[in-house]
Copies of this chain bind each other. A is one copy, B any other.
């Protein structure tokens, strides 16, 4: 990708994740092995790439974003481990591989998730790559913690569970998804913004709006894919939402209108970052990938 205007950062992400994860040779070995298995087992790395892409738009060197980029991926990986548990979605397959509790046992999977959450905060609190300004560190921490907690990702997961088998409206579904997937995607964009303390207020607001629209588009697309895509492409059990009687955008709006909604959200996101002109290309590219993806 070096000849291309848009940096992909895929190799960088793998390298930094590897550096920031404890080696499996270090005690407790099985725990560290499970953490590494869950984080390094592939995935599209949309979240860390979103951090770096926002940094590109704002002229922040990628080195300075290594810690937040990897921290969000650690949070994402922990959430998948816990979501897959028998008491939650009870999924045996993730990215075409056995889920952590199938490969390492349930207790170790719970602990690996817990340790990855702590590691995400440790990396933000300590990694030298962030630089020497403790105010940036504290702000990054606030953004990430809020996105993870009961008002963010975990709260969205709880709302999702509460809604199973119930009739909920589009508004409640939007709230659920804004928390469940939207909050962490927003944190990716806003942590890059946090790393630029002299960012103009309107630019920060534009990024926030972009992040919110893309976050929701991501989930609408996910719902659509759960119906349209095959199990093979998804790497997880297709039709799982229907099997779990979950409310989805296609179920509430119909498939065609759900697709139209995702296009509308995409257009609003594009509109928001027009303030950055051509500089916004990296965010336009990743937004397109999120909305057009087929797995």
Closest B residue by C-beta to A149: B118
Assess whether B31 is in contact with A158, with CB atoms less than 8 Å apart.
yes
Question: For residue A133, which residues in chain B have a CB less than 8 angstroms away from its CB?
Answer: 134
Which of A106, A126, A150 has the most CB atoms of chain B within a 10 A radius of its CB? A150
- Known: A117-B118, A118-B145. Contact between A158 and B87, CB under 8 A? no
Assess whether B138 is in contact with A121, with CB atoms less than 8 Å apart.
no
For A138, give its contact among B138, B148, B158, B175 (CB under 8 Å): B138
**Cβ proximity bits A116-133 to B, threshold 8 Å, 1 near / 0 not:** 011101101110000001
- Known: A125-B145, A126-B142. Contact between A159 and B27, CB under 8 A? yes
| A151 on interface, CB distance cutoff 8 Å | yes
| A277 on interface, CB distance cutoff 8 Å | no
Assess whether A142 is in contact with B122, with CB atoms less than 8 Å apart.
yes
Copies in the complex: 2
| A246 on interface, CB distance cutoff 8 Å | no
Question: For residue A82, which residues in chain B have a CB less than 8 angstroms away from its CB?
Answer: 110-111, 114
| A58 on interface, CB distance cutoff 8 Å | no
Question: For residue A154, which residues in chain B have a CB less than 8 angstroms away from its CB?
Answer: 31, 111, 114-115, 118
CA distance A145 to B121 in the complex (A): 6
Assess whether A121 is in contact with B108, with CB atoms less than 8 Å apart.
no
| A135 on interface, CB distance cutoff 8 Å | yes
| A239 on interface, CB distance cutoff 8 Å | no
- Known: A28-B158, A134-B134, A150-B35. Contact between A110 and B122, CB under 8 A? no
Question: For residue A22, which residues in chain B have a CB less than 8 angstroms away from its CB?
Answer: 150-151
| A141 on interface, CB distance cutoff 8 Å | yes
* 6 sampled A-B residue pairs with Cβ under 8 A: A82-B111, A85-B110, A119-B150, A126-B145, A134-B137, A138-B138
- Of residues 68 through 86 on chain A, the ones whose CB sits less than 8 Å from some CB of chain B are 78-79, 82, 85
| A88 on interface, CB distance cutoff 8 Å | yes
Assess whether A162 is in contact with B30, with CB atoms less than 8 Å apart.
yes
Closest B residue by C-beta to A114: B154
CA distance A144 to B121 in the complex (A): 9
| A113 on interface, CB distance cutoff 8 Å | yes
Assess whether B117 is in contact with A141, with CB atoms less than 8 Å apart.
no
| A157 on interface, CB distance cutoff 8 Å | yes
| A161 on interface, CB distance cutoff 8 Å | yes
CA distance A28 to B150 in the complex (A): 7
Assess whether A158 is in contact with B118, with CB atoms less than 8 Å apart.
no
**Cβ proximity bits A26-54 to B, threshold 8 Å, 1 near / 0 not:** 01101110010000000000000000000
Assess whether B88 is in contact with A107, with CB atoms less than 8 Å apart.
yes
Which of A85, A141, A146 has the most CB atoms of chain B within a 10 A radius of its CB? A141
